[in-house]
Structure 1
Amino acid sequence: MPKALVTGAAGFIGFHLCRRLSAEGFEVVGLDAMTDYYDVSLKQARLDLLQGPDFSFVQGRVEEPGLLMRLFSEQRFDLVFHLAAQAGVRHSIEVPRDYLDSNIVGSFELLEAARAYPPRHLLLASTSSAYGANTEMPYRETMRADHQMSFYAATKKATEAMAHSYAHLFALPTTMFRFFTVYGPWGRPDMALFKFTRAILNGDPIDVYNFGDMKRDFTYIDNLVEALWRLAGQPPPPDGKSVCAEDSLSPVAPWRIVNIGNSQPVQLTDFIAAIEAATGRSADRNLIPMQPGDVPATWADTMLLTRLAGPITPIPVDKGVQCFVDWYREYYDC
């Protein structure tokens, strides 16, 4: 039975990915620190659903010296998905040290373990926030991304560079994923969909940043996990031979960046309207200015993803939002 490691296994994306890997016949080892950045009981509920003969859980921080090295030496993973990170653009302004420890030091520990015990494919999560101040859209993987707008984005961009150096020095097949506003059932409480749904159902006002003039490339969780699964079988080649002109494949390492998005940016006001339709209630909007570290729009060019993984039919936003609201009502019995 092939074996996979998923760091951040109790997180939103990690939970869904672990389920998919188990369904595909993998023995899955999940690592998570179970931090209290948001409701730990939600993380535990995800873990409870993952329990089974082909899933084992290790609680610990990726930045703990030697922890990942021990795991790699004991398990010898075929695939490694590194999703563990301190998330949140605004939170990184308040406690940047957490981002340095988890995102930079934790990724270093992972790369050292992969260097010693190489998997067939190393896959690491980055973020669309890495594009920073770029205003040309849609975002392409081959664009320069030098002006990050938050410390969170800066740590993820640094991780990309660190992973490239290890891919070059130690021939580690490595794929970096830039995720675009992932949403869906079991999502994170600090994300807009979760906060808006909770507030609307409670009759509370919602904070709408930049007075509603924002666009996001909302990506439904099932689409993202499908992309991760397909790309896991497409490790970057060592010969530098690109699959297309838009390929981000490094000329000196088996390393590339791939956008995972919907390629259909949605106006924030339309996203709120979808939540209103799904809940059957109207939102009381509190229109406020843009927050530090935020960007007005994101939009993924997914041409490279399609060339590597084939077409993935996107879940429409209204359907995806309805799925989330249905889950929310059932989970919170409201």
Structure 2
Amino acid sequence: MDIIERLRQEFHFNENELKLLQVLRDGSSDVKSLSQKSLVPMGRIYAVLQDLERKGLVVKNGHPAKYTCYPLEDRIVEFINREAEQFQRKKEALLADLKSSHPQMQIITDMAEYKNAYFDWISGGEFIYFVQVGYSLPLQFFPRSETEAVKVFRALNPDYIPMKEKRESRQQLWGHMRAFKNEKHLIDASTFHHYLESVDKAFGRDYLLERIRDTKRLMDLYGFEIRIRPALIASRVVITSKTVVLSTFLNNQIIAMKVDSPQTIHEYKKLFEELFSQSTSWERDTNAWLAAHPVK
């Protein structure tokens, strides 16, 4: 992966920042030349350069000012290391606060320990909700409920679509789906239909139908009722009748916690019931989109 692309994917640099870094990668430049080469408007370029200076990626020298980022790779490595150190400090402070204010929580930060403990944490109670990014559901741990389907949220996020296809298809998909990166609330049927259309255009109808068939098999086999959610809800939440387990993955690190408090379980159930009732239905809206877009 190109190191500038890593800034986009892992640190959410915006398009203007990436454009300027690409130009400065080839050498120093004044503001006017930078704007012409990068196509970043003069009205925006100073603010973007200030952000890059603040992050330690760009240096301003001389008068009239010229900007440089050489050597770019070294500067990016230093930036990543600073971000990692800052994240570690924030994580330690957060965990200390959690442990002192919520002594009933069991908290794990080590990935190996998490893998060993996770299924012990979620066993022993009837599943009510499961929130997951992507398609990796631990199916063997999800028995069909005798009273109703397990309620599963599936994230609408282009980051988690399998990216084995050729580069042009990936770029096309991102072009169609850029709006989802700013999705902050619930996803309605029209947004989900746009998502399906984006996948269809980028990868083809056969690929889309294969993913739909896979999901329908899971629903039939395990009694899932799937709704679509924004990707900004925490990466994984499991709510059973006896516990709530929350897990967040960031920069290959894990923060996971188990809460056994009946009051907390009750409040999470209320929250997710409200979210679930307002979320768009995967099955209904997928069928509606397929009916409106028959294979030609």
Shared fold (TM-score, shorter chain, > 0.5): no
More helix by share: 2
Which one has a bigger Cα radius of gyration?
Answer: 2
* TM-score, normalised via structure 2 length: 0.32
* TM-score, normalised via structure 1 length: 0.29
